[in-house]
């Protein structure tokens, strides 16, 4: 098991920032870190001001030349070592995730594994950075392209995946030769801090990877700093739009992944039991705090809705809500009291709007964790597209049932929603599935797969107001996002041959 000196421990106690290969304390503002299952303070995190952010960026910039000119094969070896250390320390990382976020340990293990898969992809960087070469594009003229790093890249990540989403960014950015400054969520920062130490032990130079903990002040400082060349963001759509507009205005390359309202369409021919079980996990896993969570199910036909809701209610009656560290728990608490209040307010709004709350989890009390941020699963029926609980992202354990009469009507409902992150269809009909996949206006599509999160060799990104920018996260798009293409045309005239000036455009 990986060990640290006590002064460098990354357990949740008192976190500063990670700059130049060491923990530093620079900030007077702090925030308490809570265990969502108990609401008890388990640590303190410093909140960076603009001077701390600038310090981290300057250190990253100073390290950039050394890391940029490190051969890609050597960068890959760092990623291989990092992958091994992540696997060796998986239990400790997952415990940190569960302790600060609240999700179950099983869910944390799944999150970490998906992050490790992106690190695996980054291990192939010598192949991924190969450019094109064309000899003799003209007489004695060769041409080729190569992909060069940008410089200092920044990442701003949300609370819901404290290990995985940062790994969507920095492994590929580093493998491409950039240096990196990460601003993780201030609600659960310890997993990222632990990974920073693992990167150091993997052979990464001091200063190539830095962490500034903080809130909006740190975000705006990263967006304003002229040395930062690119910004990757995952979070809510209003903040994603702010990051994109501000970052691009300041001359940065930006990819900003926003919110979602992911729909599942349940066709009359679907295996209803299988569809319900899949939807239960996709809607209520991680307490619904996933950007790919199914939050709306559109049932095609009244009988389909009746059968589907019956299966959901049966499954929800068996769902076990407890602390994330409990081995019997299916669903843990929400991240904070503030977020719990927000989700409960949406439930009240849904009732006021006329939706039928067929499963009400508001009175749930978890024995031994009475002060925790727990909310039982909630299920609304007869939801319409005009309702706020349909239009807005709730980000909690709330599933809305919408009824439609045809597949075309169901798809029209999906297409007209302003978000376009993920969707799926449950059906046995290949023609219906093909038509859905080809024509739905959503970025990530599942066929009998409720959480169609692309594998690391592809890229993650939605459409419409779910993604601001031209390139998606991880996979091939990330390699292009974190590099600039340079095309070189070279000529060595034959000895003794001199040419006259030519004033026509070369061809």
Per-residue three-class SS string for 296-353: EEEEECHHHHHHHHHHHHHHHCCCCECCCCCCCCCECCCCCHHHHHHHHHHHHHHHHH
CB burial of 9-33 (b: ≥16 within 10 Å; e: otherwise) equals ebbbeebbbbbbbebbebbeebbeb
CA 241 and chain centroid, separation:
16
Over range 92-97, report the average pLDDT. 98
Res 493: pLDDT: 79
CB 294 within 8 A of CB 424: yes
Task: Say if strands 467-468 and 253-257 run parallel, antiparallel, or are unpaired.
Answer: antiparallel
- Both tokens of 426, joined, read 């449950």
Mean pLDDT of the chain: 95
Q: What is the pTM of this model?
A: 0.95
Residues 6+ apart with CB under 8 A from 186: 31, 45, 47, 213, 214, 215
CB 23 within 8 A of CB 16: yes
Q: What angle (nearest 5°) sits at the alpha carbon of residue 339, between those of residues 245 and 258? A: 25
Over range 400-420, report the average pLDDT. 98
Greater confidence (501 vs 270) lies with 270
291 is catalytic: yes
Judged against a pLDDT cut of 70, whether residue 416 lies above it is answered with yes
Judged against a pLDDT cut of 50, whether residue 1 lies above it is answered with no
Judged against a pLDDT cut of 60, whether residue 335 lies above it is answered with yes
Reported for 377-380, long-range contacts at CB under 8 A and 24+ positions apart, including other chains, are 377/283, 377/284, 377/316, 377/319, 377/321, 377/331, 378/347, 379/309, 379/312, 379/313, 379/316, 380/350, 380/355, 380/356
Please report the sign of the dihedral spanned by the C-alpha atoms of residue 175, residue 180, residue 186, residue 191: positive
Judged against a pLDDT cut of 90, whether residue 506 lies above it is answered with no
CB 335 within 8 A of CB 187: yes
Res 27: pLDDT: 81
Judged against a pLDDT cut of 80, whether residue 2 lies above it is answered with no
Integer Rg of the chain from CA: 25
Residue 473 to residue 49: CA distance in whole angstroms: 28
* Catalytic residue (choose from 123, 195, 287, 291): 291
Res 484: pLDDT: 97
Judged against a pLDDT cut of 90, whether residue 307 lies above it is answered with yes
The pLDDT-based confidence of 499 (bands split at 50, 70, 90) is confident
CB 222 within 8 A of CB 183: yes
DSSP 160: S
- The widest CA-to-CA distance across the chain, in whole angstroms, is 91
Residue 56 to residue 396: CA distance in whole angstroms: 34
Token look-up 């409960």 returns 344
CB 213 within 8 A of CB 183: yes
The secondary structure element, H or E, covering residue 244 is helix 237-249
Res 498: pLDDT: 74
Over range 475-489, report the average pLDDT. 97
Residues 6+ apart with CB under 8 A from 167: 115, 116, 118, 119, 195
From the list 444, 473, 454, the residue with the least C-alpha distance to 263 is 444
């Amino acid at each position: 098991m990986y060990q640290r000196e006590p002064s460098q421990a990354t357990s949740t106690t008192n976190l500063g920032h990670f700059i130049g290969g060491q923990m530093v304390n620079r900030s007077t503002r702090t925030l308490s870190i809570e265990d969502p299952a108990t609401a008890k303070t388990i640590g303190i995190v410093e909140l960076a001001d603009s001077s701390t952010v600038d310090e981290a960026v300057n250190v990253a910039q100073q390290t950039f030349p050394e890391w940029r000119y490190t051969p890609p094969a050597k960068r890959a070896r760092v990623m291989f070592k990092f992958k091994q250390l992540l696997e060796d320390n998986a239990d400790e990382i997952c415990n940190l995730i569960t302790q600060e976020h609240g999700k179950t340990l099983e869910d944390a293990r799944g999150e970490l594994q998906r992050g490790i898969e992106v690190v695996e992809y980054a291990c192939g960087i010598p192949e991924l950075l190969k450019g094109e070469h064309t000899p003799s594009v003209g007489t004695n003229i060769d041409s080729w392209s190569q992909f060069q790093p940008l410089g200092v890249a920044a990442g701003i990540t949300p609370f819901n995946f404290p290990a995985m989403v940062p790994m969507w960014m920095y492994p590929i950015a580093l493998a491409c030769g950039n240096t990196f400054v990460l601003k993780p969520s201030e609600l659960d920062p310890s997993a990222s801090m632990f990974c920073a130490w693992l990167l150091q032990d993997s052979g990464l130079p001091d200063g190539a990877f830095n962490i500034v903990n903080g809130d909006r002040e740190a975000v705006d400082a990263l967006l304003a700093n002229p040395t930062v060349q690119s910004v990757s963001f995952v979070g809510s759509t209003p903040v994603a739009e702010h990051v994109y507009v501000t970052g691009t205005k300041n001359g940065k390359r930006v990819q900003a992944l926003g919110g979602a309202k992911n729909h599942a369409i349940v066709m009359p021919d679907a295996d209803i039991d299988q569809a319900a079980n899949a939807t239960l996990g996709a809607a209520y896993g991680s307490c619904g705090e996933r950007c790919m969570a199914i939050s709306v199910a559109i049932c095609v036909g009244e009988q389909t809705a009746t059968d589907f809701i019956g299966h959901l209610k049966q499954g929800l009656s068996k769902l076990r809500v407890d602390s994330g560290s409990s081995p019997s728990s299916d669903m843990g608490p929400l991240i904070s009291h503030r977020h719990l209040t927000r989700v409960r307010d949406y439930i009240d709004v849904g009732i006021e709007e006329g939706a039928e709350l067929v499963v009400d989890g508001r009175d749930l009390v978890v024995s031994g964790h009475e002060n925790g941020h727990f909310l039982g699963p909630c299920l609304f029926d007869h939801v319409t597209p005009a309702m706020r609980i349909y239009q807005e992202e709730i980000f909690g354990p709330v599933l809305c049932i919408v009824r439609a009469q045809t597949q075309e009507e169901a798809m029209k409902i999906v297409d007209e929603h302003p978000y376009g992150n993920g969707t799926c269809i449950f059906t046995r009909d290949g023609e219906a599935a093909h038509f859905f996949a080809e024509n739905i206006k959503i970025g990530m599509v599942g066929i009998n797969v409720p959480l169609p999160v692309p594998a690391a060799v592809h890229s993650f990104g939605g459409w419409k107001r779910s993604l601001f920018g031209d390139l998606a996260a991880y996979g091939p798009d990330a390699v292009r996002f974190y590099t600039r293409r340079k095309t070189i045309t070279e000529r060595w005239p034959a000895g003794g041959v001199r040419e006259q000036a030519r004033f026509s455009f070369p061809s």
